């Protein structure tokens, strides 16, 4: 299966618990033989737009981490990758919205991994993302409740006790 991870920031931009979680999921899928691409803003040097590391193909959507420009270019990047499923993160929400647009255009389901609400994120865009995602996963029941408060359908948001554990 081809899986596209969509996150403006990748672990190369600096490690956070949410990025570490996303990287664990991506590596786990790659280790199981899935074709994994991570669409992000470039953090690496040089003029190449993509490289592979530990089974994950990192692909630059934008050079700078600008959420609006990233979201605008994302549907075309998703079309080039041609994934079977898109795994997006919720923060910042604008790139996730770009993923849902790309998913609609390519008829690809978009799963949003909702780690937590960031105080700097637009509440309006977070609400739009919660409603536009085909499915939402959360690390806790508290976050699941928050996503439902944003307007996600209760049937599209899922909490998994294993989602928050380390591997």
Residue 167: what pLDDT? 37
The helix (run of H) or strand (run of E) holding residue 101 is helix 93-106
Residue 12 lies in a domain: yes
Residue 156: what pLDDT? 67
Residue 166: what pLDDT? 39
Count of positions (residues) in the chain: 167
Number of domains in the chain: 1
Residue 4: what pLDDT? 97
Q: Each residue's pLDDT tens digit in the chain (167 positions)? A: 999 999 999 888 888 888 888 999 999 999 999 999 999 999 988 888 999 999 999 999 999 999 999 999 999 999 999 999 999 999 899 999 999 999 999 999 999 998 878 878 778 888 999 999 999 988 888 888 888 888 787 766 666 554 444 33
Domain residue limits at 83: 2-159
Residue in the block written with tokens 């609609």:
104
Residue 17 maps to which CATH number?
3.40.50.2000
pTM of the model: 0.88
How far apart (Å, rounded) are the C-alpha atoms in residues 97 and 67? 10
Residue 167 lies in a domain: no
Phi, psi of 99, deg, nearest 5? -65, -40
Residue 140 lies in a domain: yes
Residue 33 lies in a domain: yes
| Residue 153, SS3 per DSSP | coil
Residue 17: what pLDDT? 85
């Amino acid at each position: 299966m081809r899986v596209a991870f969509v996150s403006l920031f990748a672990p190369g931009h600096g490690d956070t618990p949410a990025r570490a979680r996303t990287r664990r999921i991506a590596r786990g899928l790659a280790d199981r033989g899935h074709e994994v691409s991570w669409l992000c803003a470039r953090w690496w040097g040089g003029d190449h737009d993509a490289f592979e590391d530990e089974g994950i193909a990192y692909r630059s959507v934008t050079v700078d981490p600008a959420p609006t420009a990233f979201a605008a270019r994302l549907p075309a990047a998703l079309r080039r990758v041609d994934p079977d499923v898109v795994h997006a993160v919720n923060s910042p929400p604008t790139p996730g919205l770009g993923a849902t647009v790309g998913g609609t255009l390519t008829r690809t389901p978009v799963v949003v991994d909702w780690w937590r609400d960031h105080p700097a994120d637009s509440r309006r865009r977070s609400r739009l993302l919660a409603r536009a995602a085909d499915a939402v996963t959360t690390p806790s029941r508290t976050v699941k409740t928050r996503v439902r408060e944003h307007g996600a359908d209760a049937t599209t948001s899922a909490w998994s006790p294993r989602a928050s554990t380390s591997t």
